[in-house]
Amino acid sequence: MKLISVRCNHCGAPLEVPPTARFVTCGFCDAQLVVHHSGSAHSTELLEEIKATTDGLVEQVEQLKHREEVEQLDRQWEITQRELQVHGKDGRVSVPSKGGAIFGTVIATVFGFVWMLFAGSIVARGMRMGLPSAAALFPLFGLVFIVIGIAGGLLHYSKAQRYEQAKAQYQRRRRAALGLEDPRRIPTNEVR
């Protein structure tokens, strides 16, 4: 079989290899070489350099995947935030908070009691001056305020709780996607 001449890409030594050879070890420096054939031209390349390039590519693909995962997590979190955020009466948007929920409930309850006290005393005086007995219902509207306040507070509170959980989950997954945290630590029962 006719041999072809190539040069070792590592030490430059002339080597004789079979024309179909794909790999060759340099007899002078022991370098592992890949033989490239392109038409009548033949060259060699160090195997470890190819491996380093491939490893680099694999790493880049891995990084791209991580970035994509992080971007998706960020998008998901934005959607969750929009779902759970609270719209104030003045049009302001805020994050639901447990403190805010409790505060709102207390305000509504206090308002309801104050309403009952004041309206009660006014109606009691009015009834002595001939107001119909149906007016006795008027102070009871305070109870409605209290019920609505408590219901709204509970809703707000559960939103705040979901918000906190979703935020913690998002942050944990983001750290994991960035390789900052071991993904095995993420409980598998969490909704993907």
Which residues are at the interface with Zn ion (CB under 5 A)? 8, 10-11, 13, 26, 28-29, 31
**Which of 36, 75 has the CB closer to Zn ion?**
36
**Which of 13, 151 has the CB closer to Zn ion?**
13
Q: How far is the CB of 39 from Zn ion (least distance, A)?
A: 24
Q: What is the 3-state secondary structure (H, E, C) of the chain?
A: CCCEEEECCCCCCEEEECCCCCEEECCCCCCEEEEEEECCEEEEEEHHHHHHHHHHHHHHHHHHHHHHHHHHHHHHHHHHHHHHCEECCCCCEECCCHHHHHHHHHHHHHHHHHHHHHHHHHHHHHHHCCCCHHHHHHHHHHHHHHHHHHHHHHHHHHHHHHHHHHHHHHHHHHHHHCCCCCHHHCCCCCCC
**Which of 48, 59 has the CB closer to Zn ion?**
48
Q: How far is the CB of 6 from Zn ion (least distance, A)?
A: 11
State the helix-helix crossing angle for 47-84 and 141-177, rounded to 10 degrees: 180
> How far apart are the C-alpha atoms of 157 and 155, rounded to whole Å?
5
Q: How far is the CB of 28 from Zn ion (least distance, A)?
A: 4
Q: How far is the CB of 13 from Zn ion (least distance, A)?
A: 5
**Which of 49, 68 has the CB closer to Zn ion?**
49
Q: How far is the CB of 27 from Zn ion (least distance, A)?
A: 8
Q: How far is the CB of 186 from Zn ion (least distance, A)?
A: 50
**Which of 32, 76 has the CB closer to Zn ion?**
32
> How far apart are the C-alpha atoms of 92 and 133, rounded to whole Å?
43
